[in-house]
Amino acid sequence: MKNLIKKIVPQAIRIKRLEYLKHRKKIKIVKYLKRSSEFDDEEKKEIVNYFAKNPLAVFPYEFTKKYNPKDVVVHTDNENNMKCVWHEKKRLYFKKNWSEEKIQNYYNGILLEQDVESSHRYETADFYVKENDVVVDVGVAEGNFALSVVEKAKKIYLFEIDEEWIDVLKITFAPWKEKVEIVCKYVSDKDSDSSITLDTFFSDKQKVDFIKADIEGAEIAMLKGGQSTLSNTENQRIVLCAYHKQNDAKEIDTKLKEAGFHTAFSKNHMIFYLDKTLDAPFLRKGVVYAVKK
């Protein structure tokens, strides 16, 4: 059906319709926030003021204005004919068929997500990967998080199912191939040809110190399949995305507390308008930080 619409309806009309629908959603959100009492008044005021001048956005805060895709410098590595950016003084590569503009937009989004004011930030001043940690990155994509911590980590396991990204990751992490293992599997609550549980994978391996997971709403399933992995490491830290589904934050928080973790949410909120089920209260926490004491 989507392909048929693309063939019949001109692109300019499709774009205008999407903009109209986003504007309608923005108005609905603003009206709700103005009469709601469940969020901090200062934050509500900031979001409402932001929307008075800007279109609907995932991060409705002024800090986003610091970032411009045109400021992203894309390089071509002639040795492998692949495009990359310098990410914390290390090369971060992208899929071969991506244009420079697409990479600029994508990497700009990464920078925005990891801003200190962002609700999507994986590490904070008090929550981070430590020297010689064994790190698990589930839902790696291009690998920006793992690349940020690769020099500190003792060992990193990268779980990614997209074969195009896996080809890219092999090049990005080639300088650290002795301590980076790439696993082409979904991480879930069951084992199959395409998926594996944390408990199965780590049954004969060293303990895990830090887990980061951004897996499109499958975080609960990952926790269910990792009960042993998450039960025997003191000071284990986990950061899980909690915005993909309407009740993710509450369910993930509950599951982690049941497993003996102390939890906290990231600052500020997100409006994940790409979720068609998005409904009141509209604002969602980006990630949950959890520490096993």
How distant, in Å, are the alpha carbons of 43, 166, 185, 197, 237 from that of 191? 43, 20, 10, 6, 24
> What's the predicted TM-score (pTM) here?
0.92
pLDDT of residue 140: 97
Cβ distance 62 to 50 under 8 Å?
Answer: yes
Q: What is the pLDDT of residues 124-151, one digit of tens each?
A: 999 999 999 999 999 999 999 999 999 9
The answer on pLDDT for 4 being more than 50 is: no
pLDDT of residue 21: 85
Backbone angles phi and psi of 168, in degrees to 5: -70, -45
pLDDT of residue 5: 45
The answer on pLDDT for 217 being more than 60 is: yes
- From the number of C-beta atoms within 10 Å of its C-beta (0-12, 13-18, 19+), residue 123 rates as middle
Taking residues 192-204, what's their average pLDDT? 95
Taking residues 192-207, what's their average pLDDT? 94
Q: What is the mean pLDDT of the chain?
A: 93
